[in-house]
Amino acid sequence: MSDALVELAGIAKGFGTGEARVQALADITLSVAAGEVVGLRGPSGSGKSTLLNLVACILEPDAGVLRLAGETVWQGGWRRRDLRAFRRTHIGFIFQFHNLLPFLDATDNVALALTLNGVGLGEARRRARELLDYLQVGRRAVAMPSKLSGGEAQRVAIARALANHPRIILADEPTAALDSERAQIAMDLLRRVAREQAAAVLVVTHDDKIFSRFDRLVSLRDGRIEGEMRPAEARA
């Protein structure tokens, strides 16, 4: 896939040693193209979150090749000295739990991601409020995380992940804390970003109400890709 932003070839990952070793992923080959939104589904323990953390350069593979944004990032070892800078520049990560900084309000939680990349505070706050408004949580722009509902906090976290216009967006159960309407809004934003910014979006989900928002659904089982389907074929 010539326009792939995420490319995994023969990726493997295990945890532990000896008889206690668990093979979390084996021979994973997967591509996600610019402008594409791909869902990862499968039972608990199938390797979905491990795969996402490998793409995020949080976990290190044991074997295979990992290419991101056209660059070979891992092959027999990390090819990048500063993975933090690479993640800030290329990757937006939406966690299952919001992980907002408790001492910053909603706007500044989002703006921080921009200021770390050198954006001025005024422009960072303007961009933050724009994203919060789009996610229909703008009225909570000055609220502290402790005052936000679970759904509101997750929407702020989604805005933070999108702040730097990343080419690769990774999300681990991003709609788990949202009702149906807010889940659709969040996924529509991810689809819009994928199209308008030519970003690759990879989402781990069990949420059948958002299956229609994906271009493809990839199923994992026991650390291997079991198959893939179009949303119309999917079943919860």
Residue 138: pLDDT band with limits 50, 70, 90? very high
DSSP string, 6-59: EEEEEEEEEESSGGG-EEEEEEEEEEEETT-EEEEE-STTSSHHHHHHHHTTSS
H-run or E-run covering 99: none
**Taking every pair of C-alpha atoms in the chain, what is the biggest distance, in angstroms?**
55
> Tell me: the pLDDT tens digits for 154-180?
889 888 988 888 999 999 988 877 788
Q: What is the pLDDT of residue 229?
A: 81
Q: What's the CA gap between 43 and 165, in Å, rounded?
A: 31
Task: Count CA atoms within 13 Å of residue 3 on its CB side.
Answer: 9
Residue 59: give its domain's CATH number: 3.40.50.300
Query: What's the total number of domains in the chain?
Result: 1
> Does residue 231 or residue 105 have the better pLDDT?
105
Sheet with 37-41, side-by-side order of all strands: 91-94, 168-172, 200-204, 37-41, 216-221, 224-229
With beta carbons less than 8 A apart as the criterion, state whether 71 and 167 touch: no
Q: What is the pLDDT of residue 1?
A: 43
Residue 232: pLDDT band with limits 50, 70, 90? low
> 6 pairs with which residues across the strands?
32, 68
Say if residue 202's pLDDT is above 80.
Answer: yes
Residue 30: pLDDT band with limits 50, 70, 90? very high
Residue 27's domain comprises 4-233
pTM: 0.86
> Tell me: the pLDDT tens digits for 40-90?
999 888 999 999 999 999 999 999 999 999 999 999 999 988 888 898 889
Q: What's the CA gap between 181 and 176, in Å, rounded?
A: 12
Burial class (CB in 10 A: 0-12, 13-18, 19+), 201: buried
> Does residue 35 or residue 182 have the better pLDDT?
35
